[in-house]
Amino acid sequence: MKLSSDKLKNVALAAHGGAGKTSLAEALIFNSGATNRLGRVEEGNTVMDYTEEEQRRNASLSSAFFQYEWKKHIISLIDTPGDKNFFSDTKTCMPAADATIIIVDACSGSDIRTEQSALFAETNTIPVIGFINKVDHERADFRQAFQSAVNTLNPKPILTQIPIGEKEHFKGMVDLITLKAFEFKEGQAIPIDIPPDMVDEVENERAELIENIAEADDDLLESYLEGDDIGEKELFRALKNGIKGRQFMPVLCGSATANIGITLLADFIVDALPSPCDRSVFPSMDGEDIAFDVNAPFAGYVFKTIVDPYAGRLSVIKIVSGSLGKDGSFYNSTKETKERFSQLLYLSGKEQKPIDYAEAGAIVAVAKLKETFTGATLCDENKKVRLAPTAPIASVISFAVEAAKKGDEDKVFSCLTRLQEEDPSLGLDRVAETKEILLNGMGMVHVEATIEKLKRKFNLEVVIKPPKVPYRETVRKRVRVQGKHKKQTGGHGQYGDCWIVLEPQKSGDGFEFIDAIVGGVIPKTYIPAVEKGIVESSSKGVLAGFPCVDFKVTLDYGSFHAVDSSEMAFKMAGSIAFKKACQESGGVLLEPIMNVAVIVPDDFTGDVMGDLNSRRGRVLGMESEGKYQVINAHVPMAEILTYAPDLNSMTGGRGTFTRLFSHYDEVPNDISKKVLEKIAAEQ
């Protein structure tokens, strides 16, 4: 298979979970002859959902790829996940497409992930078409589904097909551009006359279609206003230009599982959707965007990584300019290193097939690159460029992870790091204060699926639990104390004596040590030892063993012994002085405060703000973002450990949020008392 640009269509399938993206991909592939059976999600036999986790859950957990042939074109499908737990993959894979099909469920209409899919396409300036699926379902309502798309999606959806029948009576559709009607038998379109009872509806809908298209085409608008007859070719030319310019979203219809309307969609993909040649530029970080040009030096964007414990790391690349042969080398400008590859591949589900050549616009894969990960730019070493990467959606839930079996502790972090290469929406942290490994994900299902992958790919079993909150401690008032370490054990003894002033500093000022010794009451060689003893002791505060922060120590007096004094003795004296000072100063517990941005429809703002207040949150303000409101607030970390499922329940899945660490703040006395009692009980 030769992947040449002018005969290539890179198409992403995107929508809310359950709308039928994978079923649509299976029908397109089956009709092309690339497979000999129509895979079904519920039976776990699709070519796109091929991992054990996907087959067990009957849902896409990661984007899958397949190239098939239709009307002498190569169609490269990207089947993206629709579940919010894995939706970050949809965002990061979208830039590789040159067109997107937004699938709308005829039963439920446009949903939150449908809207976000359209928004991702808009952000990347990718042309879109709509496909109303499941028109044969018993709860289908084609008109209501289309209206929901009109109300929520951009660019403006316009009908290019209307169904013949609906629910159990759905058997075909009328094409409003060609004014031809089709019914379907075993996936094949059979021309029929337009049903008499639909003639008036077809005339009205076609007139509206012409009017919608004419708004985006001056020549067509002039002909329309003058009352001229508008031919099929003229209308289709204007339609193609309008799709390319994102002036509207043509909407088709059908049923993927019944294989109705899919061949007409396949024709529309070839005839109407843009090829990579029609894409103007790919965004660059160097100020000059990269233009599509087969003859230019090679540049490619790694938008997906697939990790296999046996085959190694597979890097999926969108070739932005130039071309690649079956082997060779390129420059990784992200890591500033050269990489070699020995085989060029294209992807068909779980299979990888070798090819000899691919040029700008193609989606290909190479194996076992050493330093290349998702988001990297690969290019010609003589023409270095850096393409703009797409950031994953921020994680919203965290769990502490530890090995289930003794001896596997060292494998946990390294194996999770491997999975993070494949799924950049996974967050991974080591928390010094709590000595925990934190796994951050998009939701509970995301974390569970990651744990299943650890078991399948690396034979590593782990357990998860809620993370400990990384509290800190500080001091409340200024005190002056003595720290004295004196020990006699026969021969040389140990003697260190120091006086320190401990006082609080402003939040974020950290630790400051001041040497105010005069007259040599403590020799200069021992003063750093006093500071070291204080620093080591401050790593475990006196309240609950959390690090003590934001304080100043002034060393102003002491004494020494000519024989028994040593650095170790003064280090012990500094430690004793610090602990005594903390007890006399009255310690304060500090908690991490998160910057939280909650994005919800208008209807839920009151409930969400009330809930944030109940979590000791402080609402900072609210701003509009399209059809949504963004509520910004400061909320204690301890209060939002389980916020993701709570927000989902509160908003019916229509709310999302992001969280970032902001600062530390004092824990209220009543809460502090409960926290300290709980920690004491655990210890």
Enter the tokens of residue 618.
């402080």
Q: Return the percent helix, strand and coil in the chain, to nearest 5.
A: 30, 35, 35
pLDDT on residue 221:
77
Question: What is d(CA 407, CA 630) in angstroms, rounded to the nearest whole number?
Answer: 46
Residue 361 near residue 276, CB atoms below 8 Å: yes
Tokens 């590789």 locate to 96
| Alpha-carbon 434 to chain mean position | 26
pTM for the full model? 0.85
CATH for the 589-682 domain, from 2.40.33.10, 3.30.70.240, 3.40.50.300, 3.30.565.60: 3.30.70.240
Biggest CA-to-CA distance, the chain: 115
Fold classified for 282-379 = Elongation Factor Tu (Ef-tu); domain 3 (2.40.30)
Q: What angle do CA 504, 434, 618 make, to 5 degrees?
A: 60
Decide yes or no: CATH 3.30.230.10 for domain 473-585: yes
Q: Alpha helices of 348-435 — where are they, by DSSP H?
A: 409-422
Could you tell me which of 547, 546, 541, 552 has the C-alpha nearest to residue 586? 541
**Among the CATH numbers 3.40.50.1980, 3.20.20.70, 3.40.50.720, 3.30.70.870, which is that of 397-465?**
3.30.70.870
Which residue, 674, 681, 599, 606, is CA-closest to 638?
674
Is 589-682 in the same CATH topology as 397-465?
A: yes
Contacts of 204 (CB under 8 A, 6+ apart): none
What whole-number percentage of the chain has pLDDT above 70?
A: 98
Side chain identity, residue 450? T
Task: Give the Cα separation of 107 and 19 in Å (integer).
Answer: 9
Q: What is the DSSP secondary structure assignment for residue 490, as one 8-state letter?
A: S
Kindly report the CA angle at 223 between 222 and 224, in degrees rounded to 5? 90
Residue 1 confidence (pLDDT): 55
Cis geometry, peptide bond prior to residue 155 (ω within 30 degrees of 0): yes
Task: Give CA 138 to chain center in angstroms.
Answer: 34
The domain 5-279 is placed in CATH, from the list 3.40.50.300, 3.20.20.70, 3.30.70.360, 3.40.50.720, at 3.40.50.300
Q: At which residue do the structure tokens 């009543």 appear? A: 670
| pLDDT beneath 50, residues of the chain | none
Which residues lie closer than 8 Å to 5 by C-beta, 6 or more apart?
275, 276, 277, 292, 294, 359, 360, 361, 362
Q: Give pLDDT, residue 633.
A: 97
DSSP letter assigned to residue 3:
B
Extents of the domains making up the chain: 5-279, 282-379, 397-465, 473-585, 589-682
CB 615 within 8 A of CB 591: no
Q: What is the pLDDT of residue 32?
A: 96
Q: For residue 490, what pLDDT is reported?
A: 66
Q: What separation in angstroms does the CA of 110 have from each of 8, 146, 259, 542, 620?
A: 29, 8, 22, 56, 31
